[in-house]
Structure 1
Amino acid sequence: MENFSSSLIEVLNLEKDFIISVSGSGGKTTFCKGLSLELYKKHLLNRNISMLFSTTTKIGDFSDNEFKKIFFNSEEEIDISLFEKVEGLYLTGIKNDRKISALPLKILENVVDKFSYTILETDGSKRKMIKAWNDTEPVYLSKTTISIGIIPIKAIEMEINNLNIHRFEIFESKFNLKKKNKIDIELMAEIITNKEGLFKNSIGKKILFINQVETEEEFEYAKKLANSIEKNSVIEKVIIASLLDKKFYEYKKSSDNL
């Protein structure tokens, strides 16, 4: 990728005191963990800076030692006083089996006020490349300042079926497949821009994050996709990225180059 950055903080142009909500598929948890850890390392010596990674639905548990963990066994056991003097990087939620469930939204609204930065996953994708959204998701905190929608470019040319798409029946009903058998640029653009699609319920600044761009061909696909949604005034920034290679490129609209 040309003129790429290796920093998520840099390419997203992040400022202090933000609440980022992330939806989509093909890299959500990797993105959230990566940004959390980058923020943590940047502010390692500043005890006045604190970071929170959590969810408004459910996420899988993980064992990264950098995260301090505040877990509860049930809603009844939640003690908000545990968040009064936080410093460093935290993961919180209600722990059950191998999943971490969200704190009730009213409580989470108070918890995020204790942190300098908050990063939230807002939906699930069952590890599938493409998904549709049901009536209960994504779940956005009202204090969200930035909404990031993630979609993998490797889904291009992928067969449209139940094995590859989470909530396939909803997907068929919400998006105009035009008798397509495979995902193409046109359909992916609709997933992004449709009011029932990637940015459904989103709040604040909206950033599209096209992930899994590891080859020149995929980079060209990603630029075509970005170009196809250029007239969508809702999306304020497009990042073409490889979380795997830690390479991030900000797509510039044609009007920016005039």
Structure 2
Amino acid sequence: MFLEYTKKKLINKSIVEYLQVKNQDIISISGAGGKTSTIKLLAKNLVREHKKVLITTTTKMFKTADAITIRDKNLLKQKLKQQNWVFTGQDYGKKISSWDEEFLREIISLADITLIEADGAKRLPFKFPKQKEPVYISSSNKVVYIVGMSALNQPLKSLCRAELLAKFLQKQVNENLTKNDIIKVISSEQGARKDIGRRDFFVILNQVDTLLALKEAIFIAEKLTECKIKVAISSYRDEF
């Protein structure tokens, strides 16, 4: 399920349509609760459209068997020609980490679209950024912020950067995350909109796997669209 919320309506759209993806886009994905799944879905849709897609990170991502961790531009170019997508970064044990900025610029030029996981959340569904998070490269022109709706009504102490989140919300860490808390974080330049600058900004309310979650997500989406923030509602449960 992938639905854009606009003009108080839910409209079926592909993720590519929602993000208005075009050639040479460098899309950074931040937040929590489905960043990697969002990248997979987006890459799958783009490859169907015969786009060459580079997937990498400016922080750390879990390494898959097909990840290329060799600093070899020609190898990456060959892989993109063979299968239209490539997943790459420096070897970091069970994870990959970011390439240096010079090499990153070189390999971005090989692809039509670049997808960058720019945030880490310890597999938790919601987070508040610390000082040097997220990590956006200067050439990134779009930011997609993910919220895992399973975080709603959970104690702040169970979420990523709990102490920072509690301080921002002026709450105790044993209090629960509310709909208005999520709206406040997404709307704030200290929270989800941190370091956005002139980049296009999109929100995906993910993990909307029940009718109750859908009702709550619609409430949040309506308030955010009133602030002129683009919002989609998703469930990736049956996508992979």
TM-score by shorter chain over 0.5: yes
Using the TM superposition, give the Cα deviation of residue 84 of structure 1 relative to its aligned residue in structure 2, in angstroms.
4.9
Q: Give the Cα separation in 2 of the matches to 1:185 and 1:30.
A: 23
Q: Which amino acid aligns with 2:94?
A: R
Q: Which amino acid aligns with 1:57?
A: T
Q: Give the Cα separation in 2 of the matches to 1:27 and 1:126.
A: 11
Deviations 1:177-202 (A, max 9, x none): 38982111110111111212122112
Aligned to 1:254: none
Deviations 1:96-131 (A, max 9, x none): 210100001232123212210110000100011221
Using the TM superposition, give the Cα deviation of residue 242 of structure 1 relative to its aligned residue in structure 2, in angstroms.
0.8
Task: Summarize the Cα distance change of 1:223–1:114 in structure 2 as closer, same or farther, 3 Å threshold.
Answer: same
Aligned to 1:228: 223
Aligned to 1:184: 178
- Please report the TM-score for the alignment, with normalisation by the length of structure 2: 0.86
Deviations 1:140-163 (A, max 9, x none): 1111121100001221111221xx
Q: Give the Cα separation in 1 of the matches to 2:39 and 2:137.
A: 16
Task: Summarize the Cα distance change of 1:220–1:138 in structure 2 as closer, same or farther, 3 Å threshold.
Answer: same
Q: Which ranges in structure 2 are unaligned for 5 or more consecutive residues?
A: 4-8
Kindly indicate whether the alpha-carbon contact (under 8 Å) linking 1:33 and 1:53 is maintained by their aligned counterparts in 2: no
Q: Which amino acid aligns with 1:181?
A: E
Aligned to 1:241: 234
Q: Tell me which of 185, 192, 199 is aligned to 2:193.
A: 199
Kindly indicate whether the alpha-carbon contact (under 8 Å) linking 2:26 and 2:139 is maintained by their aligned counterparts in 1: yes
- The reply to whether residue 165 of structure 1 matches residue 165 of structure 2 is no
Using the TM superposition, give the Cα deviation of residue 225 of structure 1 relative to its aligned residue in structure 2, in angstroms.
0.4
Q: Tell me which of 111, 118, 131 is aligned to 1:115.
A: 111
- The reply to whether residue 54 of structure 1 matches residue 56 of structure 2 is yes
Deviations 1:45-85 (A, max 9, x none): xxxx421010011001123xxx5x4313xxxxx34454455
Using the TM superposition, give the Cα deviation of residue 4 of structure 1 relative to its aligned residue in structure 2, in angstroms.
5.2
User: SS of the residue aligned with 1:174?
Assistant: helix
- Please report the TM-score for the alignment, with normalisation by the length of structure 1: 0.80
- The reply to whether residue 134 of structure 1 matches residue 130 of structure 2 is yes
User: SS of the residue aligned with 1:130?
Assistant: coil
Q: Tell me which of 7, 13, 18 is aligned to 2:14.
A: 7
Q: Give the Cα separation in 2 of the matches to 1:58 and 1:179.
A: 27
175-184 or 140-149, which deviates more: 175-184
Number of aligned residue pairs: give it.
228
Q: Give the Cα separation in 1 of the matches to 2:56 and 2:173.
A: 39
Q: Give the Cα separation in 1 of the matches to 2:167 and 2:74.
A: 45
Task: Summarize the Cα distance change of 1:57–1:179 in structure 2 as closer, same or farther, 3 Å threshold.
Answer: closer
Q: Give the Cα separation in 2 of the matches to 1:174 and 1:19.
A: 30
User: SS of the residue aligned with 1:206?
Assistant: strand
Task: Summarize the Cα distance change of 1:159–1:103 in structure 2 as closer, same or farther, 3 Å threshold.
Answer: same
Task: Summarize the Cα distance change of 1:231–1:3 in structure 2 as closer, same or farther, 3 Å threshold.
Answer: closer
Q: Give the Cα separation in 2 of the matches to 1:179 and 1:94.
A: 35
Compare CA radii of gyration and give the structure with the larger one. 1
- The reply to whether residue 208 of structure 1 matches residue 203 of structure 2 is yes
Q: Which ranges in structure 1 are unaligned for 5 or more consecutive residues?
A: 44-48, 73-77, 247-258
Aligned to 2:6: none
Q: Please tell me the root mean square deviation across aligned C-alpha atoms, in Å.
A: 2.2
Q: Give the Cα separation in 1 of the matches to 2:41 and 2:165.
A: 29
Q: Give the Cα separation in 1 of the matches to 2:156 and 2:237.
A: 25
Q: Give the Cα separation in 2 of the matches to 1:131 and 1:206.
A: 17
Q: Tell me which of 55, 67, 70 is aligned to 2:68.
A: 70
Identity of aligned residues (%): 27
Q: Tell me which of 40, 43, 49 is aligned to 1:36.
A: 43
